Structure 1
Amino acid sequence: MNKLLFCALFCACLSASAQTFSFKSNEGSIFLMNESPGGKARVYYFLSPECPLCQSYSLTIRNIYAEFAKQGIEMVGIIPGNDFSNKDILEYEIKYKIPLMLLRDEQLMLVKKYNVTITPEVVLVNTQGKVIYQGRIDNWAYELGKKRKVITEYNLKDALTSVLLNKPISVSKTKAVGCYIE
């Protein structure tokens, strides 16, 4: 149901003044997405079903979704390229309980637009489609294969909280750690 509402919001926010992107869902449906969100902001989660960090971050993604989606923050998962089958994506979505609509960026349109190189990497855009935060979800993973016992920086959550409070985002860019997009 939440995914259907999300689709409706995407379609409702299409306008002639902003760039529109076309994506394919795992079910084969085509979705048109305006670069400007219909809500207060939009988070693009760039994910890879076989990246261990994308799998490990699933609980964090669910928690962020539960906290912020109901407050008007749009969230969507972007699967870059066409390396994964529908079955791979569906298994990832089910096994890791990913609450996001997962869309394929087969032509790497958003990857190129935002210069995304890693999964997981997030891009947060405001209502005008301007990037206001890009990088890691938090500082749990600080190098490939190395994780902190205690997270000390919640970069995405802090940025989303700033958006909701109409405050400037203190850190607008961080370095994502994970699997390279090929």
Structure 2
Amino acid sequence: MKKLLPFLASLLLLAVLSSYTRPLAGYQIGDKAADFKLKNVDGKMVSLAGNKAAKGYIVVFTCNTCPYAKAYEQRIMDLHTKYAAQGYPVVAINPNDPAVAPGDAFAEMQKRAKDKKYAFPYLQDETQEVARQFGATRTPHLYVLTRQGSGFVVSYIGAIDDNSEDAKLVKTKYLENAMTEIMAGKPASVNSTKAVGCTIKWKKA
């Protein structure tokens, strides 16, 4: 019986782990990002290729419900205000399964975008395919894409800055430092940082 218990525990753990769809390895710096089409809160479909004037994008995987996402919400809005006019608009994507997090349902996304007056698209990744493709694991999780020919390559992955609780206590603005170099035509000297936030709520298999 003693030998059987560890075996049964292992089977149970395997069953729990296999019940969720896990992200793929995802993009690395320099990878070309595949285009996607996702539904915006206004009901229209949005793609990377749809904005011909974009020099790149700040793609943010975020949501309504995560405390970290809420803490970073104003900073994400400020990033769009600062960089959209320079050709790098924010595109926010909610990858959470509303069956797991009801507060991330499409109607709730619409309400949040309206209440907060989002000036950027807020897209629903209903199948979670885009999050898996990018390799996103957290909310928020950021990817800077830079135009290369007709497509976009990944130039930065990770966090906005070094303080997930209070914007006033930030010492290092990882994303803004990277953007300064990227917009100057240089590779970001720090192109990858650890995303800090809630784990994405994956669909059950």
Same fold (TM over 0.5): yes
Measure, in 2, the Cα distance between the counterparts of 1:19 and 1:35.
13
Measure, in 1, the Cα distance between the counterparts of 2:157 and 2:146.
12
**Which of 108, 111, 121 is residue 101 of structure 1 equivalent to?**
121
SS in 2 for 1:158: helix
Unaligned runs of 5+ in 1: 1-17
Q: Give the structure, 1 or 2, with the largest relative contact order (CA under 8 Å, sep 6 or more).
A: 2
Aligned length: 161
**Which of 137, 162, 165 is residue 160 of structure 2 equivalent to?**
137
Query: Pairwise mapping of residues 138-177 of structure 1 onto structure 2 (< 5 A)?
Result: 138-141=161-164, 150-177=169-196
Letter in 2 for 1:70: A
Measure, in 2, the Cα distance between the counterparts of 1:39 and 1:123.
15
2:43 matched residue in structure 1: 28
Cα offset, 1:112, TM superposition: 1.2
SS in 2 for 1:20: coil
TM-superposition CA deviations, 1:39-91 (whole Å, max 9, x none) = 22111111111111211212211221111110111321111144132321022
TM-score by length of 2: 0.70
Contact 1:37-1:127 at 8 Å conserved across structures: no
Structure 1 residues 33 and 67: CA distance shift in structure 2, 3 A:
closer
2:58 maps to 1:60: no
Cα offset, 1:36, TM superposition: 9.6
Please identify the structure whose Cα radius of gyration is greater: 2
Percent of pairs with identical residues: 27
Measure, in 2, the Cα distance between the counterparts of 1:148 and 1:23.
30
Query: Pairwise mapping of residues 2-151 of structure 1 onto structure 2 (< 5 A)?
Result: 19-34=34-49, 38-83=53-98, 84-128=104-148, 129-141=152-164, 150-151=169-170
Letter in 2 for 1:130: V
Worse overlay, 108-117 or 35-44: 35-44
Cα offset, 1:108, TM superposition: 1.7
Contact 1:79-1:103 at 8 Å conserved across structures: yes
Contact 1:53-1:120 at 8 Å conserved across structures: yes
Cα offset, 1:137, TM superposition: 0.8
- Compute the RMSD of aligned alpha carbons: 2.4
Letter in 1 for 2:115: K
Cα offset, 1:37, TM superposition: 7.2
Structure 1 residues 37 and 78: CA distance shift in structure 2, 3 A:
farther
Contact 2:41-2:113 at 8 Å conserved across structures: no
Unaligned runs of 5+ in 2: 1-32, 99-103
Measure, in 2, the Cα distance between the counterparts of 1:166 and 1:149.
29
Measure, in 1, the Cα distance between the counterparts of 2:108 and 2:38.
17
